[in-house]
Amino acid sequence: MNLKAAARLGGRIGHFSIDGVRLPFREGQTIMAAAMEAGVYIPHLCYNPEFTPHGSCRLCVVRSNGRHLAACTTPAAEGLEVESHTDELQEQRRELLQMLFVEGNHVCPACEKSGACQLQAVAYYCGMLAPELTYFYPQRTVDASHPDIAIDYNRCILCELCVRASREADGKNVFSIADRGIHAHLQINSSTGKLRDSDLEVTDKAAHVCPTGAILPRNLGYNIPIGKRPYDQKPISLAGDVADHEESS
C-alpha cells in the first residue's frame, strides 16, 4: 500500500514479510489486514475487514517462528517472517475445507450460488478435489418464510459473519449460534425461530455477507448466469471476497 496514505491514517509504519515479500503494516494491524491492503491473498472465509476478526474457520492459518497462527487475529510485528503459500499450509487448508464440505450438505452443481460462492472459490484456489473425509449428511432445513431472504441451513459453515454484521453494522441481533460442538448451528433470534418473524430486512448488511449460499436474497438468484459469475472469470485471489460483489448482484 501507499505509505503516505498509511501515515495519514495514523499509526507507526513497520515492515514484515509474507513468503519472503516485504510488506508494510500500520501498528495494530493484523497480518491479514496488512496483507489484504498490500494485495497479497491469504485464503479465508470467516474474515471480512468490516467486522471484528473471528479466527474460527482457520483457513488463514500461516506459519511464523515455527508456530501455526491465524493471520486474521495475529498482529503483524516488525521483522516478522510469515509463511503462507507453502505446500504444507495449502495441504492443511485443503483438509480444513474438506471438513467444512463434509460437515454440511454442499452440492455445488445444484446450488444457485455456484460461481459466486467463496467456499467453492477458496476450495478451487487451494486445489481441493473431491472430499476424502467421511460425509456427515446432517438433516438440516430451509427457511423460506421471509419474503425477501431465504436461508438454507445445509450450506452454513458457522463463520458467524451474519451474526457479526447484524450486531455490528445493522444494530440488530437477528442471528446467533445455538448449541455446541458438532451440534452448533445458526439460529434466528425471533419468537418462532423463523426468519419472517425477525427484524431482518433485505437492505441489512447481514443479508449480504454470507460466504456461501446459506443466506440468499430472493428473486435474483440467476440474474447473473452461470459462467459469468465472479469466480467463473477469475480466481478468488484476484476477484476478491463474495461480500465485495454482493452490491452489484
Interface with another protein by CB under 8 A: which residues? 55-59, 61, 68, 70, 92, 95-96, 99-100, 102-103, 132-136, 157-158, 177, 179-184
Nearer to another protein, 94 or 146 (CB): 94
CA 145 to chain CA centroid, Å, is 25
For the bound state, the minimum distance from the C-beta of residue 129 to another protein, rounded and expressed in Å, comes to: 16
Nearer to another protein, 95 or 148 (CB): 95
Distances in whole angstroms, Cα of residue 171 to Cα of each of 61, 165, 185, 216, 248: 31, 8, 22, 20, 23
Q: Which segments within 31-163 are labelled E, that is strand? A: 61-64, 67-70, 81-82, 142-143, 149-152
For the bound state, the minimum distance from the C-beta of residue 92 to another protein, rounded and expressed in Å, comes to: 6
For the bound state, the minimum distance from the C-beta of residue 39 to another protein, rounded and expressed in Å, comes to: 25
Cβ atoms within 10 A of the Cβ of 237, count? 15
Nearer to another protein, 40 or 159 (CB): 159
Rounded distance between C-alpha atoms, residue 103 and residue 168, angstroms:
28
For the bound state, the minimum distance from the C-beta of residue 174 to another protein, rounded and expressed in Å, comes to: 20
Nearer to another protein, 2 or 65 (CB): 65
Q: Please tell me the chain's helix, strand, coil percentages from 3-state DSSP, rounded to the nearest 5.
A: 30, 15, 50
